[in-house]
Structure 1
């Protein structure tokens, strides 16, 4: 059995590599062996397959090579070509895997970091994330060295991977999303993502609250002084 892989939307050609064209060639798909293409007495016939999934997407030439255009993940599975005639029957088997198209990973700053104490702000916490993926691995690299990775099996899910760097770090970091045949890389620009936190967060949570309380007390004291001054003048 020959294993083949392709990205969703691309075309793929399954070639039986038969030296001499025989009298009859049959292509079948799936565990149930549904007939999807046929050459008989030089005549080519194409079929839509289970649930009509191959409608208008199959091509078969007179050498027996089967091409599937605009591939879909539902095209994944076993294919078998049966070559009849001549010295005897021959069978070739293929296993095709169609991988979904990869999204570009997104890098964001960890939004919880600015609410922490000022002592932690010399470092920058980042997240690399992708949504609704399967059969992929998400990784952080420092230069060419792998720092961390996480993989998603068959079930579609959303994943994130954490990275913490120093604000003045000059190293090159990349987040890479890949499956067995393709990858997408997102480069980290530390100067873009690791800007100082807004002033309200610069000194932690307690100091802004303290400032507000002091401001309120000063305001109350000012009002009380004005009222006292007015009453004193009235009394005179």
Structure 2
């Protein structure tokens, strides 16, 4: 279980490829290089290739003009000295990747367009703390000292959005719990003595990166929120998705463990339900049932081998995920 919190997968994307409206999904470890392949063996003399990050042009090859151009100073220089183009195939390599490079990439070859979705997997940074909480419980992100001394301002950020602060000089506590569609409304508590932040009644919407700024110093936290499930050995357990009904273009995956092994998926676009019950030495063989309407997963005739961390990934216009921790006990 502990390994799960030592390695965080941003956007929870993995080496699963999905063609069509979603494009090709690729994952890379933070700091490594990744190549987005054009699938060409050789460009023709009149070919023109353009690579875009979201809607911004970052690289192009014009064989007619015999020109290769890399626009690595756009977007505040996040691609500076990181882009390499293959003059023969048009493939794009991004070196020294960071989470700033997570997004949809578009490859246009003449009049044809190909999409890529890039996810970045990283390990916890030095000084970053991983915190886990069961959905519905409260969690406190702790300050290191028992009492604040020589501190003027403490600020708490969630994914770069200010959610709470203490201004010691004015003896004021300010909670901005209406930001981000109100997901923190009536859930935030600040300790004026220690600067700790408590989140009550947690949901999966509160999972993610938190930053605490004290004067000019920062400390990072990653909060993982999971649903706890318990089942007696031999019984069934249902992991319920938050969906009431899947849409025609939805794609969901169920994964288990630190290695994010795929055990089931539904692709509504191609009207396909797939259960991979032969993976992991067949421990799920003839035990998995998927609800085609909601995407919920049921595991029948459970054993202790089925205990562990499960994750539901939903791919559509907006990516989302939900985590479960299943315990299996004997009589």
Q: What is the TM-score normalised by the length of structure 1?
A: 0.50
Match of 1:60 among 184, 190, 205: 190
Contact 2:232 / 2:330 at 8 angstroms: preserved in 1? Answer: no
Task: State the match for 2:240 in structure 1.
Answer: 132
Task: State the match for 1:179 in structure 2.
Answer: 309
Which structure 2 residue ranges, 5 or more long, are not aligned? Answer: 1-127, 242-253, 258-262, 264-280, 289-294, 311-323
The yes-or-no answer on 1:25 pairing with 2:160 is no
Offset at 1:53? Answer: 0.5
CA distance in 1, matches of 2:206, 2:156: 14
Which structure 1 residue ranges, 5 or more long, are not aligned? Answer: 109-127, 139-145, 164-172, 189-236
Task: State the match for 2:64 in structure 1.
Answer: none
Query: CA, structure 1 residues 45+97, in 2 after alignment: closer, same or farther (shift >3 Å)?
Result: same
CA distance in 2, matches of 1:182, 1:67: 22
The yes-or-no answer on 1:12 pairing with 2:139 is yes
Query: CA, structure 1 residues 10+162, in 2 after alignment: closer, same or farther (shift >3 Å)?
Result: closer
Q: Which of 1 and 2 has greater Rg? A: 1
Higher helix share: 1
Q: How does 1:75-224 map to 2 (within 5 A)?
A: 75-84=206-215, 89-102=216-229, 104=231, 107=234, 128-132=236-240, 148=283, 157-160=296-299, 176-179=306-309, 183-187=326-330
CA distance in 2, matches of 1:36, 1:60: 11
The yes-or-no answer on 1:50 pairing with 2:180 is yes
CA distance in 2, matches of 1:129, 1:135: 15
Superposed CA deviations along residues 29-70 of structure 1, whole A, max 9, x for unmatched, are: 01xx11111101221111113110011111001211000011
* RMSD of aligned alpha carbons: 3.6
Q: Which structure has more RCO (C-alpha within 8 Å, separation ≥ 6)?
A: 1
Offset at 1:106? Answer: 8.0
Query: CA, structure 1 residues 66+135, in 2 after alignment: closer, same or farther (shift >3 Å)?
Result: farther
Contact 1:175 / 1:186 at 8 angstroms: preserved in 2? Answer: no
State the number of aligned residues: 144
